Structure 1
Amino acid sequence: MTIERTDVLIIGGGPAGMMTGITAAQFWPDKRITVIRPEEDALVPCGIPYIFGTLGGTEEDLAGRAPFLAAGGTLIVDKVASLDLDEHLATLESGRQLAWERLVLATGSTPFVPPIPGRELDGVFTVIKEYDYLDELLTETLPDLKRLVVIGGGFIGVEFSDELRKRDIEVHIVEMQSQLLAASFDSDACSIVEQKLRDNGVFVHTSVTVKQIAADPSGKKVEGVRLGDGRLIETDAVLIAIGARPNVDLARSTDLTLARSGGIWVDGFQRTRQRLDVFAVGDCAHKQDYFTRQASHALLASQAAAEGRIAGMNLYALRLPRANAGTIAVYASQVGDLAFGVAGLTEASARQIGFEVFTGAARLPDHHPATMPGTHEVYCRLIFDANSERLLGGQIIGGPTTGELINIIGVAIQLHATATDLASFQFGSQPRLTAPVHPIVAACGEALRTRTRCAQTPG
């Protein structure tokens, strides 16, 4: 069989793989770039929960491949069966063989399923990023459900609970921590989101574990979820939404180093340890926290795309400004008309790491005057290092402006902005588009005022 050749071979066509390909085409226009993935049309990962409510169909959540193809890339629908890194050769399940100059692993992640008794029963599902699996779940399973239990109170669990409730399904969400979203937000923000879910009809169960997924008399199908406190929630189905783990099966079959966190070890340019011509990006690659350089388990499409840009730029020559600074972890989501976002550290996590902190918060309308149509209240909370005044993290709860506000906070963290920098930054103002005072400026001002008052208070 003839060996086909490409300059850049990318295994995986999610956000990380496709962004690597698009960036490589921009920076290395004379190179042939090939992406291999198992489906012609891939899903937008962050849009998956909305298939079941807001979008109403799996076909409404397709990620476009046109930009990559327009840039001259080649897409092969297949799976890689084996890799020979010494020979620079990939063998596909179809039998085709491709040789490469540069290899990029973008193999994503798989859902984490804890060892809960009964997890193998019919009616127990996970969040698998496959079109056919999700389409069957939407069209064949959900129409018959009257009650569903979601295990996991992070972003995925919260989003699925809200979306599935829109289908008039009785939804229960179970979380072992004391609050939903406790790993991402401080307590006051968690309480606001929990109350919004309750207002929308979702039953929230916190500070409780799942002891067992109970079977019906046949022993084959789920009938209920037994909680650690002895309660039984009767249900037709269970969705396990606890998180994901790096998919490194292909990497494990080679001599590539895996980090103790489970991902493929990479340097700041997304290169693997043993082979500088092999890169890894996205969920399959090891992540380091921006502040501590310890392992980060935040697997985000936005982070994956950022890593794809870094790898694409550095495939054939290092560009020093284009290095991975670490994972800040910028999230945003929405329940009903309530949007919420977080970037960087919470106050609790910052103190746990060892930072001395000071904080500031502000509440104000996102339009002015507040009687302007479509106005929402914005709550902005910022966390600063007490020694350097550098911004460590921020949380936003509000309306449609939440996503962009949290992105600004993410940029400010990456640029090492201080409370003084942010309290005095210049911003544009328009009654229908912005708050009367920028929420970040207002929260910074409150943080500095509080800090000054504390410093002036006799000890």
Structure 2
Amino acid sequence: MSTKARPDNDGEKKTKKEKILIIGGVAGGAAAAARARRMSETAEIVMVDRGPYVSFASCALAYYVGDVIKDERKMLVASPQKFRGRFEIEVRVRSEALSIDTKKKMVEIKNLQTGATYSESYDALLLAPGASPFRPPIPGIDAPGVFCLRSIPDSRHVRDWIEKNNVKHATVVGGGFIGLESAENLRRRGINVTLIEGGDHVMGPIDGEMLYRVNNKIKEEGVEMIVGDILTEIRYEEEEGEGSDAKAKRHLPLKLRTRKGIHIDTDLVIMSVGIRPETKLAKMAGVALGKRGGILIDDQCRTNVDSVWACGDACETKNWISGEYGILALAGPASRQGRIAADSMILGDKSKLRYRGSQGTFVCGAFGFTIAGTGINEATAKRLGIAYDSVTTHPAQHVSYYPGAKMMDLKVLFDPTDEGRILGAQCVGEEGAERRIDIIAAFIQKRGTVFDLEEAELCYAPQYGAARDPVDMVGFVAANSIRGDSPLAHWDQLEKGVPLIDVREIHEYTKGSAPGAINIPLNTLRERLGEVMKIVDAADEKKNTPGAEKRRRVYVTCHVGQRGHYATRALRLNGFDARNVSGGYRSYMAYQQQENNKKKQHPEPGTCGVES
């Protein structure tokens, strides 16, 4: 095999790999193809994809269904002609790879338009087949009117079904990214929607209590939410048309049944219950798979098979915070993997790019809210036994005196030791949520701590933020807790029998308070310290605490945590073991909603949803 010089100013040499064959496009495959050309002017690059489009905006599909995007051509990122003209890359769509002979370095490919098969050689092979939507094996799953949303043709079929069948009611199964976006866009078209989620809350990567306002808004928008239940049966019937349409079939409503016996009549079902990596081809070729069924790759995206690389949704990706491997269906990591794989294929051992793993940074817009997160959540930390503490704040996205200030809910998980390393963050709000998560995600990349967040120097003008940005503030609160200046408590961990002081004003307190909370407004706290002492001593006596062991522990709460912090400091300086309950009463309401969701029992079996 020849090694010809590249005409680069650096005097770089062309490496061993002369022909690169890429199976699959979209994010990972397309990124790899373009990067490979930028790294070599002489390599032959061929990309095949069994679909009709090699590179499209998969994140836009629900918005095409909702008619936000009216022209499906707007979702096409790059055409075969563009790849040919701009990068000298040959793209073959509607071409399916059937098998790989890794010894001969040949791939058998079928032209889906003509039915002809042929063999294609390679020097370097990149597998970027992506993942397919999971269709649970339940009765009726293949009935007309039941769709997944993974490709442009999928979204086109949903639109056609809506228009041809005068859809009045739709059921979305699964409350993740696609599920929420689909529910929102169907409502935008005036269609009644039922959303079924098997977990105790939608958006699994987010801790349940963070979705308090989102849940309320979903219901306000007329979406019927069923949580903690799963779809178990779909029944479909047709009847003959009448009159001149006697030969035509008229679609009757689909009849759904859930595990808990709820019946739903619906005209359309969108299944969004997860994905499965497309690994059949890789497995046949002897490529190693992980515990989650994805392709195993190293930090250069190489598989265990010589001259075979892989990237994207088909691969198992390491979460470098938890160390756990999983399937990550995000465009950003897939694109970066494609770029790294391309360098490795072209430069070999000289490639300096390495894949660090992922922290799973994501964002989703639904029903007027931005839902964003990075790193691990509480559920993951508990499952893996990772020690953590958390802080929740409810700041505005910019200073309150500037018009348009809107509250966000921001939560950060961190190492509770003196190290204070950031483990994850979540933010929900109408504006500014994604910006704060992007900032914290960058700190996590550099193994930053909550003490680093304290010192974050971020841009400020009244319409954009605050002199002490919400990122700084969440750092202050977490760091104060670690140092012992203002220790945090949490609504789900309050010690029984310890007094809870609510330092809000009386008019706030009377509108709603946590059970057992004693109202002592902050402005009167110092003059009522004797009263607090009696309350705390009485609690210690009730528990028969010996005098020498009396801790004078007391919990403090307010509306969002700020006044609670002031009160906590005052009490601690006066000899009390005071702890500020994170997030205040706003977090209490969110916590209670989530607890109710966990315990919620659905009504007696009957009909729910809107008949069409």
Per the TM superposition, whether the score is higher than 0.5 is yes
Seen in structure 2, the aligned counterparts of structure 1 residues 221 and 204 have a Cα distance that, compared at 3 Å, is same
1:434-459 Cα deviation digits (max 9, x unpaired): 34432211111111223322398759
Cα distance in structure 2, aligned partners of 1:249 and 1:201: 41
Query: The residue matched to 2:291 in structure 1 has which SS?
Result: coil
Query: The residue matched to 1:263 in structure 2 has which SS?
Result: coil
Seen in structure 2, the aligned counterparts of structure 1 residues 31 and 408 have a Cα distance that, compared at 3 Å, is farther
State whether structure 2 residue 214 is matched by structure 1 residue 193: yes
Please report how far the alpha carbon of residue 319 of structure 1 lies from its aligned counterpart in structure 2 after TM superposition: 5.8
Tell me if the contact between 1:174 and 1:208 (Cα under 8 Å) persists in the aligned partners: yes
Structure 2 counterpart of 1:151, which letter?
V
Matched residue, 1:48: 61
Seen in structure 2, the aligned counterparts of structure 1 residues 208 and 81 have a Cα distance that, compared at 3 Å, is closer
Cα distance in structure 1, aligned partners of 2:357 and 2:107: 30
Matched residue, 1:64: 78
Tell me if the contact between 1:391 and 1:418 (Cα under 8 Å) persists in the aligned partners: yes
1:162-217 Cα deviation digits (max 9, x unpaired): 11111111110001211112x21112212222222112221111122223223337
Query: The residue matched to 2:348 in structure 1 has which SS?
Result: coil
Tell me if the contact between 1:121 and 1:221 (Cα under 8 Å) persists in the aligned partners: no
Give the counterpart of 2:187 among 162, 165, 168. Answer: 165
Tell me if the contact between 2:25 and 2:54 (Cα under 8 Å) persists in the aligned partners: no
Alignment of 1:68-147 (within 5 A): 70-77=86-93, 78-94=95-111, 95-129=117-151, 131-142=152-163, 144-147=166-169
Cα distance in structure 2, aligned partners of 1:253 and 1:347: 38
Matched residue, 2:201: 179
Matched residue, 2:317: 287
Tell me if the contact between 2:289 and 2:296 (Cα under 8 Å) persists in the aligned partners: yes
Cα distance in structure 1, aligned partners of 2:461 and 2:263: 53
Structure 2 counterpart of 1:43, which letter?
F
State whether structure 2 residue 56 is matched by structure 1 residue 35: no
Matched residue, 1:447: 478
Tell me if the contact between 2:24 and 2:54 (Cα under 8 Å) persists in the aligned partners: no
Tell me if the contact between 1:423 and 1:441 (Cα under 8 Å) persists in the aligned partners: yes
Matched residue, 2:31: 19
Please report how far the alpha carbon of residue 96 of structure 1 lies from its aligned counterpart in structure 2 after TM superposition: 4.4
Please report the TM-score for the alignment, with normalisation by the length of structure 1.
0.91
Cα distance in structure 1, aligned partners of 2:220 and 2:251: 34
Please report how far the alpha carbon of residue 337 of structure 1 lies from its aligned counterpart in structure 2 after TM superposition: 2.3
1:315-342 Cα deviation digits (max 9, x unpaired): 2324676322223111101123211101
Give the counterpart of 1:376 among 406, 412, 416. Answer: 406
Instruction: Say which is worse superposed, 309-318 or 234-243, in terms of deviation.
Output: 309-318
Superposed CA RMSD in Å reads 2.5
Structure 2 counterpart of 1:55, which letter?
I
Matched residue, 1:267: 298
Cα distance in structure 1, aligned partners of 2:41 and 2:454: 43
Please report how far the alpha carbon of residue 369 of structure 1 lies from its aligned counterpart in structure 2 after TM superposition: 5.0
Please report how far the alpha carbon of residue 392 of structure 1 lies from its aligned counterpart in structure 2 after TM superposition: 0.6
Structure 1 unmatched ranges of 5 or more = none
Give the counterpart of 2:348 among 296, 299, 317. Answer: 317
Please report how far the alpha carbon of residue 73 of structure 1 lies from its aligned counterpart in structure 2 after TM superposition: 2.6
Query: The residue matched to 2:325 in structure 1 has which SS?
Result: coil
Structure 2 counterpart of 1:70, which letter?
R
Query: The residue matched to 1:259 in structure 2 has which SS?
Result: coil
Alignment of 1:204-215 (within 5 A): 204-215=225-236
Tell me if the contact between 1:124 and 1:238 (Cα under 8 Å) persists in the aligned partners: yes
Matched residue, 2:504: none
Cα distance in structure 2, aligned partners of 1:355 and 1:271: 30
Seen in structure 2, the aligned counterparts of structure 1 residues 68 and 121 have a Cα distance that, compared at 3 Å, is same
Seen in structure 2, the aligned counterparts of structure 1 residues 98 and 152 have a Cα distance that, compared at 3 Å, is same
Query: The residue matched to 2:395 in structure 1 has which SS?
Result: strand
State whether structure 2 residue 297 is matched by structure 1 residue 255: no
Cα distance in structure 1, aligned partners of 2:22 and 2:56: 18
Seen in structure 2, the aligned counterparts of structure 1 residues 321 and 430 have a Cα distance that, compared at 3 Å, is farther
Moved segments of 4+, more than 6 Å? 217-221
1:220-250 Cα deviation digits (max 9, x unpaired): 9662211222221111121111011001122
Structure 1 counterpart of 2:109, which letter?
L
1:90-124 Cα deviation digits (max 9, x unpaired): 23213444322111000011110112222122211
Give the counterpart of 1:304 among 308, 311, 334. Answer: 334
Structure 2 counterpart of 1:71, which letter?
F
Cα distance in structure 2, aligned partners of 1:273 and 1:376: 51
Tell me if the contact between 1:123 and 1:221 (Cα under 8 Å) persists in the aligned partners: no
Please report the TM-score for the alignment, with normalisation by the length of structure 2.
0.69
Cα distance in structure 2, aligned partners of 1:364 and 1:454: 20
Query: The residue matched to 2:198 in structure 1 has which SS?
Result: coil
Please report how far the alpha carbon of residue 278 of structure 1 lies from its aligned counterpart in structure 2 after TM superposition: 0.7
State whether structure 2 residue 156 is matched by structure 1 residue 156: no
Larger radius of gyration: 2
Instruction: Say which is worse superposed, 113-122 or 291-300, in terms of deviation.
Output: 291-300
